[in-house]
Every structure is written in C-alpha cells, then in structure tokens.
Amino acid sequence: MIRFIYYPLIQAHYLYNEKEVKDEIKNIFFDVFQNINENNFVWEKQQKDYENWDSFTQLNLITLSEAKFDISLTLDEAIKIKSASELFECIKSHLI
C-alpha cells in the first residue's frame, strides 16, 4: 500500500505584527528622507509638507515597501499614498 503525505503550501509572507510594520515603515521613511529621524517623524504629515517628496520619492517609498514586505501595490494604491499613515494602512491591507 502506498501512502501519500500532503503538506499544505505555505505562503512566503512573513507574519508581521502592527508594531513591526510601523517600525519598518519608519525605517523606510528614514532611508528616503535623510533629514527625518525618530524625534521629528510624524505619521500624519502629508506629502505636501515634505520638502523633497516628489514623484521619484514616491516611487522609492513604494518600491522599498514592496520589497520589504514582499507585496505588490496597484497603481491606484501607490498614487493615493500621501503620508506614512496611509502607507501603513495600505501595507496592512496586503498583509492581513
């Protein structure tokens, strides 16, 4: 008698908790915006309030986030992100 053992497929996504996601997003912002650190980082600060947040910066934020969390954002999602808080909500929606 031949027996087959079936193993469930496990997705490659690492399971992040909310704090880990927020910490990683902050680190992405620190990498992209050299003048931002833990003391002056604000989750609700809008794109228009950043000195250097242009289309290239937007692309960097999205690309780094996608690579870090192994996700793919749609064009609509990427365009709508205007703050760290909005980036967090978008990433969270892909990880749940």
What is the distance between the alpha carbons of residues 66 and 91, in angstroms, rounded to a whole number?
Answer: 8
- Which residue positions in the chain have pLDDT lower than 70? 1-14
Domain of residue 51 covers: 18-95
Residue 8 lies in a domain: no
pLDDT (0 to 100) of residue 77: 97
Residue 23 lies in a domain: yes
The pLDDT tens digits for 38-48 are: 999 999 999 99
Q: Which two tokens stand for residue 79?
A: 């365009």
Residue 33 lies in a domain: yes
Split into its structural domains, the chain has a count of: 1
pTM: 0.83
pLDDT (0 to 100) of residue 10: 36
Residues recorded for the chain? 96
Residue 67 lies in a domain: yes
Q: Alpha helix locations (H) across the chain?
A: 18-32, 55-69, 75-80, 84-95
Residue 74 lies in a domain: yes
Q: How far apart are the first and last CA of the chain?
A: 41
Residue 5 lies in a domain: no
pLDDT (0 to 100) of residue 16: 80
Q: Which of 7, 59, 14, 66 is nearest to 32 (CA)?
A: 59
Which CATH number belongs to the domain containing residue 34 in this structure? 1.10.1200.10
